[in-house]
Amino acid sequence: MSCKFGKICGGCRFRDLSLIDYQQHKVEQVRNVLQQLCADNFVFEQPLFMQDGCRRRASLAFAKHKGKIILGFNVEQSNEIIDIDCCPMLTPKINKNLDFIRAMLGEICNTKIEINHGKKSSKLCNIDHGDIWITEADNGLDVVLEFGIDPNLEIRQTIFEMVANQDDIIRISHRKTVNHRPETIMEKIKPYLQIAGREVYIPAGTFLQPSKAGEQALLGLAIKYLGNIQGKIADLFCGVGTFSYALVAQPDVQVIAIDSSAELLSGFQESINRQMISNIKIENRNLFKYPLAGKELCGFNAVVFDPPRAGAKEQVTAIAALDYNQKPTRIVAISCNPHSFVRDANILINGGYRIKSITMVDQFVYSLHSELVALFEMPEIINK
């Protein structure tokens, strides 16, 4: 699908290519990086390509300029905002509500806020810029407003009155920066996702796979690569538990899910308590500083990990250092950065693992980014 902003927006660098040329270019990019692996006897599976119109989360910038609200994405390597009313990457529901969100931001930016500078000093000011984070849950849109001033009562009432009659938006929250926990301003119903047949409530501003189709592709590959493995499985960098829910749907599986985000894990724990899932155990832990190591890894039949772009160097180093008979027999690695994946994969290879399969999943359509799912096995599994 064409886009008039394709050549200037930072998100769709290759939109001017034909679909076939783009997909070939993306595969070549990944193959070139994978040449740095210390192995070449793996199967590079048929890549999976997502389509336009399926991106369910977006971060947009906004600013008030000459009395008008500019809402959109930044020009590549710039603070300039491209004013958009529709993006071909985003889901129809998100695009449908951009005009409403723009109007709501206009009312917010037109409202004076009193800022206190001590007991005897205060001034009136307006919000004139910020960011907005939109996530499409399965039951509606979850919106987080991000600007550096706490919304006053008038802004909260404006949001409530405007959103009350907007069926698609089910929650509005605010935070001062991306590092602050969002405060809910209005919640009609808790946003949830259907994952492995379960309703999973999500915290405001939570990180999710960018598309439902991409999430299902990753889950399908993880389950396929694990096969009929049973027993104890580690789900590392688990987030909201996307892979854990799919894993415990298999028979005779016990999952230990670990992440460093207390907020995500709190929602995850609440969800498994509500659904009475007894075979997921959750641990709050920074795996970059304190990876599972030594005896802690003993007894795991498999490990699934999906780290941030930095990869999982510390964790795979700990796994590779295990004695031969203590190593998990299968590892499924999900990576959104082929370069850090190659580094981590080579550590596992040097620790005795072999790569059996790698699948590219193109979640970030027309961008430089690619996702990989790979299966590592100990040699005795391959030789059976």
**Measured CA distances, 122 to 116, 125, 151 (Å):** 4, 10, 16
Q: Per residue in 301-320, is it b (16+ CB within 10 Å) or e — as a string?
A: bbbbbbbeeebbebbbbbbb
**Closest by CA position to 343, among listed 380, 298, 309:** 309
User: In whole angstroms, what is the distance from residue 243 CA to residue 222 CA?
Assistant: 8
- In this structure, are residues 208 and 54 in contact, taking their beta carbons and an 8 Å threshold? no
Active site residue 125: no
**Half-sphere exposure (Cβ direction) of 377: Cα atoms closer than 13 Å:** 16
Name the CA dihedral angle for 1, 25, 309, 11, rounded to a multiple of 10 degrees: -30
- Bridge partners of 361? 48, 371
Phi, psi angles (nearest 5°) of residue 212: -65, -40
- Asked if residue 293 lies in contact with residue 341, where contact means CB atoms within 8 angstroms, the answer is no
Does residue 377 sit in helix, strand or coil?
strand
Amino acid identity of residue 142, one-letter, is: D
Cα–chain center distance at 271: 19
201 near 271, Cβ under 8 Å?
A: yes
Are residues 199 and 190 in contact, defined by beta-carbon separation less than 8 angstroms?
no
What six digits make up the tokens of 355?
């790569």
Catalytically annotated residue among 3, 12, 54, 336:
336
d(CA 288, CA 196): 28
Give the span between the Cα atoms of 96 and 86, in whole angstroms: 8
DSSP structural state of residue 352: T
Q: Which residues are catalytic?
A: 336
